[in-house]
Amino acid sequence: MTTEAAERHEKQLRDGRRIAFRPIASDDGPRLCDHVARSSAESRRLRFFKSTSRLDPNFADRLAEVDHRRRCAFVGQLDGDDAIRAVGRYEATGSGEAEIAFLIEDEFQGHGLGRELFELLAANAALNGITRFTAMVLPENRKMLTMFESMGRPISVRSDGTTLLVELELAAA
């Protein structure tokens, strides 16, 4: 799926509300700060590996700057609502490889948004010569690990003692 197609991509939540996905935009920095602030301390820790209470606005602006090729992010928003509720991103780290990360607001976790974002990122990555995703995951993050294991792709998991390095092959899906 291309970034253009993602603009029309939607996911219906179990309660009937709809989340629409779009590529991140360069003016999304403040919306990313609000998204992180609304997330629980535990979700923030699982995403950023520290108990940060707020996203530095300059860092948020940098996260919003993408080229949709080697650096790419999609966001999810409720229909008719400007707030960002879910973010998935990848950043190329080497030839054919990119690191991915997600943050879904707690209220919206478990509705399939992580899976949708993964597939959007994987489709965009494939168009840009990226064949493997990597992710740094805290060992206690069962949700993230279960999601990766359920994506139907070859996966390997290594530990450096404190963090798990997950590798997923995209081409074999």
Closest C-alpha among 61, 70, 1 to residue 25:
61
Q: What gap in Å lies between CA 112 and CA 31, rounded to an integer?
A: 22
Nearest approach in angstroms of CB 18 to ligand COA is 15
Nearest approach in angstroms of CB 118 to ligand COA is 8
Task: Provide CB contacts within 8 A for 159, sequence distance 6+.
Answer: 139, 165
* Cα separations in angstroms, 169 against 33, 46, 92, 123, 138: 31, 23, 14, 13, 20
Based on CB atoms, which residue is closest to ligand COA, 4 or 62? 62
Based on CB atoms, which residue is closest to ligand COA, 4 or 101? 101
Based on CB atoms, which residue is closest to ligand COA, 150 or 159? 150
Residues engaged in binding ligand COA (CB under 6 A): 43, 46-47, 101-104, 109-115, 135, 137, 141-144, 146-147, 150
Based on CB atoms, which residue is closest to ligand COA, 41 or 171? 41
Nearest approach in angstroms of CB 114 to ligand COA is 2
Q: Is the Cβ–Cβ distance between 102 and 144 less than 8 Å?
A: yes
Residue nearest to ligand COA (CB): 114
Nearest approach in angstroms of CB 45 to ligand COA is 8
Q: Helices in 1-149 by DSSP H: which ranges?
A: 3-6, 29-38, 41-48, 57-64, 113-127, 142-149
Based on CB atoms, which residue is closest to ligand COA, 2 or 150? 150
Based on CB atoms, which residue is closest to ligand COA, 4 or 72? 72
Nearest approach in angstroms of CB 29 to ligand COA is 19
> Which residue bears the tokens 């805290």?
138
Nearest approach in angstroms of CB 85 to ligand COA is 10
| Other Cβ atoms closer than 10 A to 30 | 14
